[in-house]
Amino acid sequence: MADRIVVAGGGYAGLAALSRLLNQAGGRLTLIDSEPGHTLVPELPEALAPGKSVARHVLSYDRLLKDARVTRIADQIVGIRVAQRTVLLQSGEQVAFDWLILAVGTVPRFPPVPGLKALALPLKTAQDTQRIKRDLDKGKNQQVVVVGGGLTGVEVAGVLAPRHHVSLVEASTRLLPGLGPGLASYAHRRLKGAGVTFYLHHKLSEVSAGRIVAGGKHLSYDILIWAGGIGPPTWLSETDLPLDRQGYPVADPTGQVLPHVYVAGDLWQIEDRGQRLPQTAQLAEQAGAYVGSVIASRLKQDGDVPEFHPHIRGMLVALNPGQGVGWVYHGGLSVQGFSARWLKNMVFRQYRRGLTREFDRVWPD
């Protein structure tokens, strides 16, 4: 009987893995995802702008996988029984696998700050975005406090600044740790010019209705957005998978966690020259494609597979409308202003086109 290959999560990593498996391997492919479509997560901040829809950034699995030889299960994974090789679903069903790719991504992680988890709105899923949009739609000039000065926090502040009073709170002394100090200070200047008030080196210590305390300062808010951290889903800790101190699966350099169980995407903490690489869609996609190929090789008993070596081509951050900042050509070229934003839009467009192409190829005539 053909091997049962289960891909858990149809995000950047899961879809890239599926695409490789469809092209390179036989086997019975199943995708399990709790959502109705593939969410283009990096595009979600854009959807917060007035008049923009969230639905545009979710590609329905029904359409994407139409006629592809993939069985789709729309359900939430709540556990894995490693010894029995089964995935447990919220509906109570169990899905058996011979090979499993764990690509469910990360979830917002809230530090133990009183009131934070109950009152702050994360931005990680299409529903999160819809929820924030509902609050933003209540009117112009609201007090929005964004906590976290990484990529998500900076992009959200940039999108909201034209219509609202935006404050950005960050515990460290600078924004955007993924960019060099010069590019990060460009982003700072640009957003300041757009009206964002910065509270750098201000650690959040307390949240209550309509008010936060950060670095001893009291700030009022109508909408509080949490962009301060992500982590692995907590249900992983109830499985038999080996996990590191933060709860991420521990994998070998081919993404293998245990025989027949692989990890890809944000859940795979990848190091390059001793440094943990930032969790990005680009890295997730490359890791997913790689792990898909590894399983295809193992099914064909092709022998040893090369280790994963990602090629990070660039890092681009959208600022206020029409502007951006980042680097391309593997760090060889800094870009800022209109050109950076244009490049980021091109990357988004290319990704959509790539998906259509890749999944088209396997659709029957």
Ligand X SMILES: Cc1cc2nc3c(=O)[nH]c(=O)nc-3n(C[C@H](O)[C@H](O)[C@H](O)COP(=O)(O)OP(=O)(O)OC[C@H]3O[C@@H](n4cnc5c(N)ncnc54)[C@H](O)[C@@H]3O)c2cc1C
Sequence letter at residue 254: T
C-beta closer to ligand X: residue 275 or 301: 275
SS3 266: helix
Handedness of CA 66, 127, 165, 142 (dihedral sign): positive
Residue 263 C-beta: closest distance to ligand X, Å:
9
The total number of residues written for the chain in this structure: 365
Q: Which residue is associated with the tokens 């839009």?
A: 345
Radius of gyration of the chain from its Cα atoms, rounded to whole angstroms: 21
Where along the sequence are the contacts to ligand X (CB under 6 A)?
9-14, 32-35, 39, 41-42, 44-45, 76-77, 103-105, 123-124, 151-152, 265-266, 279-282, 284
Residue 6 C-beta: closest distance to ligand X, Å:
11
C-beta closer to ligand X: residue 35 or 222: 35
* Distance (Å, whole) CA 163 – CA 290: 42
Residue 216 C-beta: closest distance to ligand X, Å:
29
| Residue closest to ligand X (Cβ) | 11
Measuring CA to CA, how many Å separate 217 from each of 157, 196, 201, 220?
20, 17, 11, 10
C-beta closer to ligand X: residue 186 or 213: 186
Give me the residues paired with residue 336 across strands: 325
Residue 182 C-beta: closest distance to ligand X, Å:
19
Q: What is the DSSP letter of 195?
A: T
C-beta closer to ligand X: residue 207 or 340: 340
C-beta closer to ligand X: residue 127 or 172: 127
C-beta closer to ligand X: residue 39 or 254: 39
Measuring CA to CA, how many Å separate 245 from each of 232, 237, 239?
11, 11, 15
C-beta closer to ligand X: residue 48 or 213: 48
Residue 90 C-beta: closest distance to ligand X, Å:
8
Residue 123 C-beta: closest distance to ligand X, Å:
5
Best CA proximity match to 18, nearest among 349, 295, 309: 295
Residue 34 C-beta: closest distance to ligand X, Å:
4
Residues 6 or more apart whose Cβ sits within 8 Å of residue 31: 7, 10, 14, 18, 61, 65, 70, 71, 72, 73
Residue 280 C-beta: closest distance to ligand X, Å:
3
* Distance (Å, whole) CA 131 – CA 207: 19
* Distance (Å, whole) CA 42 – CA 348: 9
C-beta closer to ligand X: residue 213 or 267: 267
C-beta closer to ligand X: residue 132 or 213: 132
Residue 200 C-beta: closest distance to ligand X, Å:
20
Buried b (16+ CB within 10 A) or exposed e, 222-242: bbbbbbbebebeeebeebebe
